[in-house]
Amino acid sequence: MYDVIVAGGGPGGSVAAKKCAQGGLRTLLLERKKLPRDKVCSGMVMGPWANDIIQQEFGTIPQKILADPALLSGHMMHVPGTQPQPIFCKTPLAWRKDLDFWMIQRITGGYLNLKTQPDSVYDQIYREAEPYLDTRRNDVHVSLSYDFARRLLAFYPKADEAIVLPAIVLHDVGWKMVPEEKQLGAFGPKAKDKQTQRIHETQGVKIAQNILTRLEYDPEKIFEILSIIDGHDTRQEALSLNDQLVKDADKLWRFTPAGVDIDHARFGIPRDSYIQWLGTVIDDWLFTPEAKEMAHTALAEAKIDTGANEN
Ligand SMILES: Cc1cc2nc3c(=O)[nH]c(=O)nc-3n(C[C@H](O)[C@H](O)[C@H](O)COP(=O)(O)OP(=O)(O)OC[C@H]3O[C@@H](n4cnc5c(N)ncnc54)[C@H](O)[C@@H]3O)c2cc1C
Ligand SMILES: [Fe+2]
Ligand SMILES: [Fe+2]
């Protein structure tokens, strides 16, 4: 039993948890990422106030955490509509990932419990898939489709996430084996090269099998995942509920603002006309009512960007 649970191991959470623990409360600090975790930040420890708080709560920042240069003599503030404002103030420059980790390490010893989410098998599969996703914008596609798959799974308790999630992460890894200049002839509204389209499926099956076998994934599940990947674009009908969710998640990213921006440009179709066309395929493409609703919502967001009309 804990008196306090603090969510988030950034500087804010670390200080809050430390204060609670110091005040005698049984405190648990939860961080959802594996530590040390990356964080978008310029890494400047700004102003004497930030330096003072860090010094007071955690001690002197170790040299090995500081970047090169370790100390800036000031910085320039740029605010739209005003003149740039120089600020002269000695500013340590730190690697943010290491700074936050150091702060957490300083407070967890003896004070409080820290729990980070264990790396799930899906994280491991994703990491293994990543080197194959840096083509055809599949890094963006798969990250959005993975999110849709998770959302769809919440509506279908009878579907198996251990099939659906690996299948959506791995379904397009085979594109890595197709030269980029050949890819555009093999997908999208003007695709004619069915042979190349098929190659990305068969190559995908081989790569996915290697990854899943290496991770010692359940062989029965591997079989179903590979059956879904094999034919995920060329086979119109779904083999199972799991396959329906994978097919829906695969398509759904296209309706998002990011999907619309990427696809209309590479297919050479004006953005407004492309959005209009997408609005006409929702019922044909998607299996589940939840996916259809998500497609309409995503497309409405894409429309707001340009004021285009779906109908
Ligand atoms: C581009 C950019 C540049 C910046 N540059 C600077 C700079 O140079 N100097 C500066 O001082 N500030 C800078 N900042 C601001 C600074 O990053 C923030 O003010 C600071 O990170 C806020 O700290 P925090 O602890 O509130 O949040 P965070 O540091 O964002 O920490 C939140 C933590 O909560 C975790 N989390 C989220 N949800 C959950 C959950 N449900 N369960 C468990 N854990 C969860 C996250 O993984 C994360 O680790 C910058 C910000 C940006 C975006
Ligand atoms: Fe595909
Ligand atoms: Fe896909």
The whole-number average pLDDT for the span 211-228 is 98
Fold classification of 4-116 is FAD/NAD(P)-binding domain (3.50.50)
pLDDT at 118: 67
Q: Is the CB of 30 under 6 A from ligand 1?
A: yes
Report the alpha-carbon distance of residue 221 to residue 63 in Å, rounded.
49
- CB of 43 closer than 6 angstroms to any ligand 1 atom: yes
Which pLDDT band holds residue 48 (cuts at 50, 70, 90)?
A: confident
Q: φ and ψ at 39, to 5 degrees?
A: -150, 130
- Ligand 1, atom 50, residue with closest C-alpha: 41
User: Could you tell me if the CB of 231 is within 6 A of ligand 1?
Assistant: no
Residue of the nearest CA to atom 13 in ligand 1? 41
Mean per-residue pLDDT over the chain, rounded: 91
Start and end residues for every CATH 3.50.50.60 domain found in the chain = 4-116
Buried/exposed 3-23: b ≥16 CB within 10 Å, e otherwise: ebebeebbbebbbbbbebbee
Does the CB atom of residue 10 touch ligand 1 within 6 A? yes
Quick check: 116 pLDDT over 80?
A: no
pTM (predicted TM-score): 0.62
Q: How confident is the model over 83-99, as pLDDT tens digits? A: 999 888 889 999 999 99
- The CATH number corresponding to 121-306 among 1.10.357, 1.10.3210, 1.10.20, 1.10.760 equals 1.10.3210
DSSP state of 173: G
Q: Return the ligand 1 atom nearest residue 50 CA.
A: 11
Distance 75 CA to ligand 3 centre (A): 44
The segment(s) of the chain belonging to CATH 1.10.3210 are 121-306
- The answer to whether the beta carbons of residues 107 and 49 sit under 8 Å apart is no
Distance between CA atoms of residues 175 and 183, nearest Å: 8
